[in-house]
Amino acid sequence: MSITVETVRHVATLARLEISAEETGIYTEQLSRILGLMEQLQSIPTEGVAPMSHAVAMTMPERDDTVTNTNQRDTLLANAPDSEEGCFRVPKIIE
Amino acid sequence: MDATTLTLAQAAQALNAREISAQELTRAYLERIEALNPALNAFITLDAERAMEAAAAADTRLGQASATPLTGIPLAIKDLFCTQNLRTTCGSAMLANFLPPYESTVTARLKAAGAVVLGKTNMDEFAMGSSNETSFFGPVRNPWAYDRTPGGSSGGSATAMAAGLCAGALGTDTGGSIRQPAAMTGITGLKPTYGRVSRFGMIAFASSLDQAGPMTRTVEDAALLLQEMAGFDPKDATSINEPVPDYHAALGRDLKGLRIGMPAEYFGEGLGQESRTAIEAAMEVYRSLGAHIHPISLPMTRHAIPTYYIIAPAEASSNLARYDGIRFGHRCADPKDLKDLYCRTRAEGFGAEVKRRIMLGTYVLSSGYYDAYYRKAQQVRRLIAEDFSRAFREHDLGVILTPTAPETAFKLGEKNADPVSMYLSDIYTINVNLAGLPGISLPCGFDAKGLPIGFQLIGRPLDEATILATGHAYQLATQWHKARPEGKS
């Protein structure tokens, strides 16, 4: 399986990663090799096998809908790269 | 007495008998860290001042009814566990200044038991790597040979433990990240059953595989740490609500009649000759202790690497979407709009291996490829898990014995250029994560270069007690776990 430069650019956009022309070349080559390794799975018969998303078969536990978190706005904002008046600050998104 | 040569169990005894104070013990480790860490690079952040405060509190508590076997025990914590108000980087530039506003369940439990946190250990960035070389904070060196890696991703914890910079350490294991570095540094490393230990406050890599565990000098020490770490946590939706047995009490079990499975697929071409010889000698030890070795087959073994490298990156690409430069972590300078902020923040904050895995995960989950890759891998994952359950059931096995890693510690830089060859170094450990089983690595010899060799014991789900007892019996009969890398460089 080999993938194209265009696919790598598309995936980088989906993943919100800026990649340079040099990186695009490297990832195209490396991802093709890694995906080549994965081709062997196609030969395994899996019809009727239920996909396993977790190692432990369990149902999602439920709990009472009670408030356990106290207001920690300022503590949480302390890690923000940019904040103002109790809000996260981001670039303007509406023209 | 050099207190830093004691096992955790011996240190606990010495503390209890008041032969040494927690403050003396903590100071001894801090001095050793100061002397050796600049060359080893095992710690990213030290917390000496608070460690001494915790040690003083432990000295007050020792001798009181509330004391535990961990009261006053100095620990090194992988920098993946959130520690409140102590910088937690996950080995990444993205989190180089992150101060968690909350504490992980595991570290909270250990602190509540009176353990002393010395600092946070170096690791592959976001736990993605098998050599510790992907860390933003530079590679960790193996104390047995400074030009070699300690393995990864919990390489800082492994080196800290092997070099005597702590009495016990915490690692995490998604595809072998506790067991492989344990093998490469000559220590004991346990990955518990998925769900046995809470993941709350562990920075997520691949949520269906990640599990925390102890890295220690001995199996007995691992049992003491696991005792406090294990147990149900309502804050982790995948935490298993089952009673925690007394692991230390289980260590005394007799191995007579124990059935040990030896899977042919793990002893094929890829295994180095010296490792094979050492592991075969370990089997002889088990025979002499009255256990029976049964040849078994786990035919899906060879599909584990491709399966893992679809599932783990897929989960990682989703988990790491949270690093968007808005709420915490790195943000690029002067973004021109929101998309530019996301794209440049992530390009600057993540290293090459993390980006590669995000790309891979995004690709296998993307429209048109989901069924061919992700769904297929999840189906094969079930077949891999069924391989193990069938073998345990049909041969009535207590444990399965395998190598931990195909080779001993490799040189820094040796596998950097080729991600596929790096991925193959987890070939014997990855299956265990996919199946969610407990696994432990312990030392069983050295190669001609003087580098440690490890073997792995795999147990049934939630049966940590049997692999601990099996490992402990081996350490009572052998001396490998007592070897120290003193004077090596």
Total domains, chain B? 1
From residue A21, how far is each of A6, A9, A25, A27, B290 by CA, in Å? 11, 10, 7, 10, 62
> Contact B157/B188 with Cβ under 8 angstroms?
no
Cβ-based neighbour number of residue A88 at 10 Å: 14
Which residue of the set B135, B157, B177, B198 is catalytic? B177
Q: SS3 for B212?
A: strand
Q: CATH number of the domain at A19, please.
A: 1.10.20
Q: Chain B: nearest CA to A24, how far in angstroms?
A: 11
Output A17 or B2, whichever has higher pLDDT.
A17
Active site residue B239: no
Contact at CB, A79 and B329, closer than 8 angstroms: yes
* ipTM score assigned to the predicted complex: 0.95
Q: What is the mean pLDDT of residues B450-471?
A: 98
Q: What is the mean pLDDT of residues B71-100?
A: 98
Distance between CA atoms of residues B209 and B119, nearest Å = 25
The mean pLDDT value of chain B amounts to 96
Asked if residue B209 belongs to a domain, the reply is yes
Asked if residue B422 belongs to a domain, the reply is no
Residue of B nearest to A26 (CA): B356
> Contact B204/B236 with Cβ under 8 angstroms?
no
Cβ burial, residue B336 (10 Å; 0-12/13-18/19+): exposed
Please name the residue that has the structure tokens 């790096």.
B422
Q: SS3 for B77?
A: strand
Q: pLDDT band at B121, cuts 50/70/90?
A: very high
**A46-55, A57-66, B279-288, B304-313: segment of lowest average pLDDT:** A57-66
Asked if residue A24 belongs to a domain, the reply is yes
pLDDT at site B105: 98
Residue pairs between chains A and B whose CB atoms are closer than 8 Å: 166
pLDDT at site B420: 80
Distance between CA atoms of residues B178 and B172, nearest Å = 6
Quote the domain boundaries for residue A34: 5-42
Instruction: Provide the greatest CA pair distance for chain B.
Output: 70
pLDDT at site B368: 87
* DSSP tag of B147: T
Asked if residue A69 belongs to a domain, the reply is no
**A56-60, A61-65, B315-319: segment of lowest average pLDDT:** A56-60
Q: pLDDT band at B489, cuts 50/70/90?
A: very low
Asked if residue A66 belongs to a domain, the reply is no
Question: Cβ of A94 under 8 Å from any chain B Cβ?
Answer: no
Q: CA-based angle A72:A74:A78, to the nearest 5?
A: 115
Total domains, chain A? 1
Asked if residue B270 belongs to a domain, the reply is no
In this structure, chain B runs to a length of: 489
Please tell me which of the candidates A19, A33, A76 has its beta carbon nearest to residue B101. Answer: A76
Asked if residue A55 belongs to a domain, the reply is no
Asked if residue B373 belongs to a domain, the reply is no
Quote the domain boundaries for residue B206: 3-254
Active site residue B318: no
Question: Cβ of A5 under 8 Å from any chain B Cβ?
Answer: no
Which residue of the set B21, B130, B153, B425 is catalytic? B153
Q: Chain B partners of A7 at a C-beta cutoff of 8 Å?
A: 363
Q: What is the mean pLDDT of residues B255-280?
A: 95
Sort strands A83-84 and B452-459 into parallel, antiparallel or unpaired. unpaired
Q: Chain B partners of A53 at a C-beta cutoff of 8 Å?
A: 208, 378
